[in-house]
Amino acid sequence: MSKVLVVDDDADVREVIGDFLRTAGFEVEDAANGLEALMQIKRLRPAAVLLDLMMPRLGGLDAIKRIRAFDQTIRVLVMTGAQDAELHRQARALGAAAVFTKPFSPSEVVAALRGEAPPAPRPEEPAPRRADPVSILLVVGDARERTHVEPLLAQKGYEVRFAPDAATGVRAVVARAPDIVLLDIEMPGLSGVGVLPTIVALAPDAKVIMICESGNVELAKRTLAFGAFDYVKKPVDAALLGQAIESALAMRRIDLAE
């Protein structure tokens, strides 16, 4: 049985991934930060390490360097919520065998841990033109944020619906599932974090982008492991929001084509 070390500062993420890998036949240990990971690696000598890039006490890139210097036979796989192509490139250049962006498919991780070749990518085809505009549901409790974000979306030609709280947002999803949900983390009553699982269950094809204050970035990162596609910080930057939406739409097209 192959031994895998799962390294993430979020205990829930470690538990979910660990349970899945054990079901797949792996022996699993875990660590909460980079320093703890290095100590575990020297003690356990695992066959593989599944490593988050954003960690306290030694970041993921430095951890990859040290793991590879200690034992190049250890297979290093990276998981991250960062939609950053350059960061992914650096991780691979340092020796990561694969980079998985949260939320990822556990079956792909299992295949990579077993050293199986990933399926050949399908030739890219131009996305079909849609007759109807992209539908976006904006669920924010802050009226000022609504007046800031809504015009940014309208300028792009998106169809925008608005919900001032989580309960209204759920009713809007039930009435007609959107392509994209922009979901505020902090709202009166039920929070965006609390309603996220319901929205994901009701509209599995929709991509959810969280909106957060700077102080809630770590909370936003944790939502990526539980169904959110991405997050943007307040005050929302038009360019970053546009990139997040285009990435979400591209991923949605891929999911629907499968």
Cα angle: 154, vertex 158, 161; to 5 degrees: 85
Domains of the chain: 3-113 (3.40.50.2300), 135-257 (3.40.50.2300)
Higher pLDDT, 164 or 106: 164
What are the tens digits of pLDDT across the range 12-29?
778 888 888 898 899 999
220/231 Cα distance (integer angstroms): 6
**Nearest in space to 142 (alpha carbons), one of 222, 236, 217, 242:** 236
Query: End-to-end alpha-carbon separation of the chain, Å?
Result: 32
**Nearest in space to 55 (alpha carbons), one of 223, 221, 229, 226:** 221
Higher pLDDT, 106 or 190: 190
Percent of the chain predicted with pLDDT > 70: 91
172/166 Cα distance (integer angstroms): 10
* pLDDT bucket at 127, cuts 50 / 70 / 90: very low
pTM of the model: 0.53
> Is residue 43 scored above 90 in pLDDT?
yes
**Nearest in space to 141 (alpha carbons), one of 178, 180, 184, 195:** 184
Q: Is 53 left (phi over 0), alpha (psi -120 to 50) or beta?
A: alpha
Q: Which structure tokens are listed for 162?
A: 């608005």
pLDDT of residue 166: 93
In the predicted model, what is the mean pLDDT of residues 225-249? 90
Longest dimension (CA), the chain: 59
Residue 211 three-state SS? strand
Contacts with 85 (C-beta within 8 Å, 6 or more apart), sequence order: none
In the predicted model, what is the mean pLDDT of residues 196-219? 91
Read off the amino acid at residue 22.
R
Highest mean pLDDT among 72-86, 115-129, 194-208: 194-208
pLDDT of residue 1: 58
Percent of the chain predicted with pLDDT > 90: 44
Q: What is the mean pLDDT of the chain?
A: 86
